[in-house]
Amino acid sequence: MLCCPMHMAMMLPMGMGAAVAAPPPSEPPPSFIDGTAPKATEWASRGDEHTKDLFDVAEPGCWVVLRGATVWPMTGDEGLPNHDILVRDGVIRAVQPTGAALPEGARVIEAQGQHVIPGLADNHCHPPLMHISGNWAGMFGPQVKAEDLQLPYDLLMFLFLSGGITRIQAMAGSAEDLALRDSIRQGRLRGPAMRVASPVIDGYPLVWGSAISYGIGTPEGGRTAARRLQELGFDFAKPYTRLGLEAYDLLMDECKALGIEVTGHIPAAVSVEHALRKGQRGVAHVFEYFYNDSESERRNLDMMARRARLSAELGVTVQSTLTVSMMFEYDIGQRPDAFKAAGVFDPVLRHLMRPAGPIVQMFSGNPQFVAQGTDCLLHSINMMKALKAEGVRIVPGTDMGNCNGTGPHTIHDELEWFVKDVGMTPLEALRCATVNSAAHHGESSVSGTLETGKRSDLVLLNADPSRDIGATRQIAGVMLGNAYLHRAAMDRGVERAKAIFARMPVPAAA
């Protein structure tokens, strides 16, 4: 099973970079292998030298007021026209009608005619960090190093913020991701609130190689994986496609005993129903509900409805990743115009995804991939409709690196699909990216809505998102705690990132 381009680069012949090879076929696989890099690079502990000057930061104790906007608290279906949001020390202290008294000395950001929503979330992404860039480097020549292809982490996180994303979930974790998460939490740089999955917990032969995987060769290896990820501080376990049934069951048992959340793939050896009943409460792609089924089964709407009902009964959260459902169709040639290279900043991604590139050639030339990718977006949308009908908690995710701000293949595409194809109202779609996402991250008490006492992670829009979900692309400003990004500062930061991308030794995509 192949997913996003970030994963794909890990298995291409010129970019394997796996730290531990799979055992020879004649030998039994080891019970457990962790071939991931044990330590983060110094890139993950760098500060904010590329972005510090872009943020307007309020001093401790200073009041900041967003004045005169229409506020969308996300607690109901109504907006609050002509309201002020009063913030101090990164927390919303009041939401009140414009004209009410303001604290003395408050810094005022005029927001008349604008709309304020909570920050958005991408619940399935793969930030391209140094361990990923190291795998790509070999594609572009023996002299190319990882750092030649690496955007500084503060600029990488800034690009998420420039798209209104204040919360992310990195779905193939490593020491590098953990160190970046901690750097954000400790204030060395500013970026979205970040949760990090374990490395993919897979059986043999490994789908992606051990550089981003835990290899499980015996059932007991499942238990070992759970203990290992807890020891290292990952936020949840991510089972993967080739994990065997017994190993999966022991992984689930140990995660339950240790209080570890499980959000990931549903292995081919494990039925959807078994996985959900065993306690997997997070599904990493909506297509997991049908990916391992036959063509006739994946067109069975009654089957989708049954699985959606079970998900509702058990309190499952599902990541949408419709972006990658569409990319499957692009890769097999069904949707040749789907990849919008012109709007993608990252030249490595453009190179990988070009029509003559290795990903498209690999997919389109493999009958199994063609069968699995055919109509993947259509089936994913049908499954989303079934989940929505049963009230299952849906959260948006792209399965991409998301270095495009508000451009193509970002969370904004997911939200537009929610409205135009799944049948959600714009506010329902926004709740998936705000309220549902905060709940999925265990942070409902501090974020996800615009209320007194919540964290002041806010997005200012130039258009009404309740009328047109496309308004989420029209960003006027972003507040992250006690720091504010004006539109002009966002534009400057994007240009800095583009300039570094332009210097990378990557051939122009053909």
Q: Can you list the domains of the chain with their CATH numbers?
A: 5-47+119-450 (3.20.20.140), 52-117+452-499 (2.30.40.10)
Instruction: For 334-391, give the DSSP string.
Output: SSTT---GGG---HHHHHHHSTTSHHHHHHHT-HHHHHHHTTHHHHHHHHHHHHHHTT
Q: Is the peptide bond before 127 cis (omega within 30 degrees of 0)?
A: no
Percent of the chain's residues with pLDDT above 90: 86
User: Which phi and psi (to 5°) does residue 408 adopt?
Assistant: -70, 160
Amino acid identity, position 162 = S
Which helix (H) or strand (E) segment is 435 a member of? helix 435-440
Give 50-62 pLDDT, tens digit per residue: 999 999 999 999 9
Rg of the chain taking only CA atoms, in angstroms: 22
The model carries a pTM of 0.95
Q: What stretches of 111-270 adopt beta strand conformation (E)?
A: 115-118, 120-125, 165-170, 193-203, 213-216, 236-239, 263-264
Give 231-256 pLDDT, tens digit per residue: 999 999 999 999 999 999 999 999 99
Place 210 in a pLDDT band, splitting at 50, 70 and 90: confident
Q: How many Cβ atoms sit within 10 Å of the Cβ of residue 223?
A: 22
Give 7-52 pLDDT, tens digit per residue: 554 444 323 223 344 556 667 889 999 989 999 999 999 999 999 9
CA atoms within 13 A on the CB side of 69: 29
Give 344-373 pLDDT, tens digit per residue: 999 999 999 999 888 898 889 899 889 889
Among 17-26, 47-56, 72-81, 478-487, where is mean pLDDT lowest? Answer: 17-26
